[in-house]
Structure formats: structure tokens, C-alpha cells
Structure 1
Amino acid sequence: MLPEHAAQVLEIYRCGIDGGDATFEEAAPSWEVFDAARLAEHRLVAVDRADRVVGWAAVSPVSERCAYAGVVEHSVYVRPDAHGRGVGTLLLDALIASTEQAGVWTIQSGIFPENTASLALHRRAGFRVVGIRERIGRHRGRWRDVVLLERRSPTLD
């Protein structure tokens, strides 16, 4: 993911926000805010043959404490017109490979239970449900649950 991808990445993020089941966020941030919050070495885009960004994945540290140096939270977003074509799998597999190579031992994410496609994608990639955070936040006027998932690297101990 490079600065020249910014507009397309943020547009895909906005589509996810507009769909209502991807995030608590209400609006996509500026590129500067987005860029500062994610680790540069683990930001990926998938592009089609026309060089159009069709999806992205990125991670953020979960804590500045050194005990959590190998724990990240991730996001995967795919353009609505590219859903069901394997883009999410491609991005998540590449993200897992990238983080494992860097010594990350846990990737976590929170997913709304209504986002069944994302839950299935993560289960196929080896994520497990850690728990459900019930009524963790209000979103668009209603309480929302979040399924907490994690993937522990089998190659690191």
C-alpha cells in the first residue's frame, strides 16, 4: 500500500463504513490519520488487471507495551463489486505471511456478528473465536456486539 493508493483505499473503507456491518467508524479518516495508525510494513493492496485497488489489509499495534510487541489488530476490506472473488482470502493470507515473517505471534480482530462473510473468511484462515463482547458500543442508534477473534502463529513459540 503506497500513498498513490490512498484515494482508492479510503473509498473502499468508506464503502465498508456505509454498509453498516464493518466498523464502528462513521467516516473514513484522512490519509494522514489512516497512515499514522497502521504499521507500514504490513499494509497491502490487491489490484486488478486494470491496476484498480480492489481490496486492502493493514495492521495496527494493540499496545505500546513491550509485552505486546508481537500482537496486532488487523482490518481487511474489499470493494463491494469484488466480493466473492477471493480477494479477502488473498489479502489475509498475504498479511499472515507478512506478520509471521516479522515475528508477530497474534493477529486479532473484532467483527460484528452480522458480518458472516468476514467471520467465515477468518475461520478459514485459522482464526478462532475468543469471545463475544456483548453490547460493547452503540452504532447508528443501537447496541452492537463484537466477535473477538485471534490467530496465533503456529510457527512461533
Structure 2
Amino acid sequence: MEPLATRPMTPADWPAVEAIYRAGIATGHATFEAEPPPDWHAFASGKRPDLMLVAVDGDDRVLGWAAAGPVSARPVYRGVVEHSVYVAPHAAGRGVGSQLLGDLLAVADRSGVWTVQSSIFPENAASLKLHQSAGFRVVGRRERIGLMPCGPLAGQWRDTVLIERRAPATTS
């Protein structure tokens, strides 16, 4: 296997991040979004800069990305973030998602985040399995929460599975 590393995401990574995001959107199982944000600034504006990572190969080609942003501006939720993990189709099955998620969680733990959460389509079995192996638990299911706007499932009501992972110091 070729070398794999993670590093902070930069504006120069946007073309690759956008392409990977677009590929995820095309599956119909990654997001309700119909299009990636129009540019780096729109993408990064809702994220915490310290919680934006890319996975790269030995030639620094982006294979995937992970990012998280606050769920609320209210001080009581300052340690709660919602995250996303996307892997380039050609890099699937090579441990990219595991490395990204593990490194994202390590940074989150060091930076005072106590809950990392997300909503995943129940059909996205690979993502659910990845998150379960990283210590996430299912906390609920939102039935018919959104009408899919695009892609192969356009016009269908979709469920999402709510998952969360608590930082080790907050689980007791």
C-alpha cells in the first residue's frame, strides 16, 4: 500500500476537496446538498479551521477530507461539532476514511470538543460501519426528515441515522 498521511486542509486543496464532495453528492447517499459550496470561503465559513483535514498520498494528492463545525453559537454547545468524512471513489477501501476520522477525533479531543456528531443516510452502510468502529453510537433515527433534491433518489423522502461520539473524559 502506498503511504497515507493526514494534514490540515488549506485553500489550495479546494479543487480536490470540491471534486470529492461532488462525487459523494452524485451517489445520493452522502448529503442532502445538491451542489458543493461555490468556493473555498463558503465551504470553510461553517467549519472550525483546526478541524479541517485532508488525507494525502506520498505525492500529496488529496484522497479524502474530514471537517467539522459548531452545531450552535450558544456557549453551552461550544464543545459540540457536526462532522463529515468524504473519500475519493478511487481511494475507497484503502483505510483513508479510518485514518481521517481517527485523526479528526484526536484533534477534537485535544481541542476541548466533547461531542462529535453527524447524520448519516441508513443506506450508507460503509459510513455507519466506519463510525461504529471509531466509537460512535446511534442515538436515533429521523424518519422522512428531508426530501432528496437531486441525484438518483431525487423526490424521495429520506431518513437519517443520528450518531455521536463522546470524548473519553466525558463518557463517565
Q: Structure 2-normalised TM-score? A: 0.89
Whole-angstrom CA distance in 2 between matches of 1:70 and 1:50: 35
Aligned-pair identity in percent equals 58
Partner of 2:158: 144
Three-state SS of the structure 1 residue aligned to 2:73 is: coil
RMSD after superposition: 0.8
Q: CA deviation at 1:27?
A: 0.4
- Residues 71 and 105, structure 1, Cα contact 8 Å, conserved in 2: yes
Deviation at residue 110 of structure 1 after TM alignment: 0.2
1:83 aligns with 2:92: yes
| 1:5-154 correspondence runs (5 A) | 5-30=13-38, 31-139=40-148, 140-154=154-168
Separation of aligned partners in 2, 1:70 and 1:37: 15
Which residue is 2:5 aligned to?
none
Aligned partner of 1:65: which letter? R
Question: By how many angstroms is 1:32 displaced?
Answer: 1.5
Aligned length: 157
- Distance (Å, rounded) in 2 between the aligned partners of 1:155 and 1:83: 32
Work out the CA distance in 1 between the residues paired with 2:139 and 2:112: 21
By how many angstroms is 1:37 displaced?
1.3
After TM superposition, give the deviation of residue 156 of structure 1 in Å.
Answer: 3.8
TM-score normalised over the length of structure 1: 0.98
Ranges in structure 1 where 5+ consecutive residues have no aligned partner: none
Instruction: With a CA cutoff of 8 Å and minimum separation of 6, indicate the structure with the bigger relative contact order.
Output: 2
* Deviation per residue, 1:75-129 (Å, 9 max, x gap): 0000001001000000000000000000100000000000000000000000000
